Amino acid sequence: MIERAETQPEKPLLDVKNIKKYYPVSSSFFNRSSGYVKAVDDVSFSVKAGETLGIVGESGCGKSTLGRNILRLQKPTAGQIIYEDKDITKYRESELRKVRKEMQIVFQDPYASLNPKHKVGEIIREPLRVHREGSKAEQLDRVKWLLEKVGLEHHHVMRYPHEFSGGQRQRIGIARALALNPKLIVCDEPISALDVSVQSQVINLFQDLQDELGLTYLFISHDLSVIRHVCNRVAVMYLGKIVELGETGDIYHEPAHSYTKALLSAIPLPNPLQQRKRERIILQGDVPNPINPPEGCRFHTRCPIATEICKKEEPKFEEKMPGRWVACHHHLA
């Protein structure tokens, strides 16, 4: 994989303010709401135009929910989503139509997200048809251009998704996401389902497309080594909350939250000598139930440095150093 060059883009394209998404859980017998899964619980960050912000955390911590709410595929329970200075939180479907062109998503499983009965040409052209972008001839030309951009051949338009490998299917998903010339793409575990051998090719494609088209990515992954290669900044999530956010290099070099430290300690290092020197932190217990998260700091049940205050008082998510946000009473860096 190619190491990402540091860029310092400035203008925020997206501002996420105190977003919450609670899913009601119904007790099966009476089918009445008996509580909530607090999938995303008071999350705030901004994404600058042209940057890649990583969202990392274990499965179930709320990454996909966050992505879906930002794109307004779901309505948040509370909070605001500001896209290019427009508050889109309460936009109706008709108002969302225009912003939807500019915000797209690439899913983990390209096969599940592509209609198996449609030929690739139709799949990529569909967003253009739905939004009535140009004449049919112009749409077909754009499909060819998109195929070239993602490294597929013109004649592939006549084939069906099942005739392609996993990596090629993800290229089809990317071409479709690019059809309407978006600015922001939420990439939700876009390489997790692919063979390791093709993962770096698809990552390189994302990076080439970003450089050429000036795209902004929200890159969701549970894999810290992938995040390290593609992201300018990283937000670490635990049980619906961001616990640490900062420049990728700084976070990997000196994590400030003990959850980040534990996640990093599990990544294998290329050099076995370094590996032996590094302390491996094994987290005790499972991720608690998001219906009933621990009081105080949600991580206190697993944190190796927790004290009394951690059990009682929730730590604020604060900027502890320029550009570094941490939610911890006893942060490390």
Q: Which residues bind ligand ADP (CB under 6 A)?
A: 23, 37, 39, 57, 59-65, 290
CB of 107 to ligand ADP, least distance (A): 11
Q: Which residues bind ligand SF4 (CB under 6 A)?
A: 257-258, 297, 299-300, 303, 305-306, 310, 315, 328-330
Task: Provide the 3-class DSSP secondary structure of residue 257.
Answer: coil
- 64 part of the interface to Mg ion, by CB under 5 A: yes
Q: How far is the C-alpha of 54 from the C-alpha of 63, rounded, in Å?
A: 10
Distance, first Cα to last Cα, the chain: 28
* Cα 314 to Cα 166, 294, 309, distances in angstroms: 43, 10, 8
If one asks whether residue 65 binds Mg ion (CB under 5 A), the answer comes out as no
Q: Taking contact as CB under 5 A, which single stretch among the options 57-65, 146-154, 235-243, 263-271 is the one that binds Mg ion? A: 57-65
The alpha carbon torsion through 46, 261, 237, 324 (nearest 10 deg) reads -20
Q: Check residue 281 and report its DSSP letter.
A: P
Q: Which is nearer to ligand SF4, 211 or 313 (CB)?
A: 313
Which of the listed partners (ligand SF4, ligand ADP, Mg ion, none) does 65 bind, with a CB threshold of 5 to 8 Å by partner kind?
ligand ADP
- Residue 157 or 237: the one with the smaller Cβ distance to Mg ion is 237
What residue type is 23 in one-letter code? Y
294 token code pair: 């621990």
- A 10 A CB-CB count for 45 gives 20
Distance CA 288, CA 316 (A): 20
Shorter beta-carbon distance to Mg ion: residue 222 or 298:
222
- For residues 63 and 57, the answer to whether their CB atoms sit within 8 Å is yes
- Tell me how far, at minimum, the Cβ of 264 lies from ligand SF4, in Å: 14
Q: Does 221 bind Mg ion (CB under 5 A)?
A: no
CB of 189 to Mg ion, least distance (A): 6
As measured in angstroms, the least distance from the Cβ of 244 to ligand SF4 is 9
- CB nearer to ligand ADP: give 60 or 151: 60
CB-CB contact of 243 with 235 (8 Å):
no
Shortest CB 306 distance to ligand SF4, Å: 4
Residue number, 181 or 289, with CB nearest to ligand SF4: 289
Structure tokens given for 170:
């993800």
Binding residues for Mg ion (CB under 5 A): 64
